[in-house]
Amino acid sequence: MEPISKNISEFINNNKIATLCFTDTEGNPYCINCFYAFDETTQSLILKSSVGTKHQNFIKAKTKIAGTILPKTIDLLKIKGLQFTGNLLEEKQINDLSLSLIYIKKFPFSLAIPGYIWAVNLEYLKFTDNTTGFGKKTIWQVKH
């Protein structure tokens, strides 16, 4: 597995909220914002949602997903942001890899909130970092 570059992994680790985009069975788009934790070893974003949400119906193993991560404050001259795609992991993989422990470590308050853990295995990342030059992009992707 090709490691994610340091500048991208630092950006992911330094932020907390991702926008994730699904499509329903009819191909209609649907987006959510969600707290996430990042596991560099499995190259996965780990998330938690409440039971009964609309997007719960879209969370099925191997479903393709896209999303973005932006910092909580944006300086237009020093903008940074990440676009990503990936596949949802199976519940067994999440349990086998103990991914829920990583999420709980980052967000201990999540123990008090009912819900379920799910995860996106990252396949493609495009990181824009204008602090290193206007329009500077770093691309990472899984090689098949």
pLDDT at residue 144 greater than cutoff 80: no
| Residue-averaged pLDDT of the chain | 92
Answer yes or no: is 128 within a domain: yes
User: pLDDT, tens digit, for every residue of 42-54?
Assistant: 999 999 999 988 8
Answer yes or no: is 81 within a domain: yes
pLDDT at 15: 96
User: pLDDT, tens digit, for every residue of 80-126?
Assistant: 999 999 999 999 999 999 999 999 999 999 999 999 999 999 999 99
- Do the Cβ atoms of 47 and 119 come closer than 8 Å? yes
pTM above 0.75, yes or no: yes
User: How many other C-beta atoms lie within 10 A of the C-beta of residue 47?
Assistant: 23
Positive or negative, the CA dihedral 32, 14, 143, 131 is positive
Tell me which residue of 60, 100, 67, 59 sits closest to 83, measured CA to CA: 67
Residue with token string 């001259």:
77
Tell me which residue of 61, 66, 48, 54 sits closest to 24, measured CA to CA: 54
pLDDT at residue 135 greater than cutoff 80: no
Answer yes or no: is 43 within a domain: yes
Distance CA 36, CA 15 (A): 9
- Do the Cβ atoms of 75 and 129 come closer than 8 Å? no
Q: What is the residue type of 62? A: K
Answer yes or no: is 1 within a domain: no
Q: How many domains does the chain have?
A: 1
pLDDT at 2: 87
Answer yes or no: is 76 within a domain: yes
* Domain carrying residue 22: 6-141
Token readout for 68 is 């973005």
**% pLDDT > 90, the chain:** 72
pLDDT at 48: 96
DSSP code, position 90:
P
Answer yes or no: is 49 within a domain: yes
pLDDT at 37: 98
Answer yes or no: is 96 within a domain: yes
| CATH number, domain with residue 56 | 2.30.110.10
Distance CA 14, CA 139 (A): 19
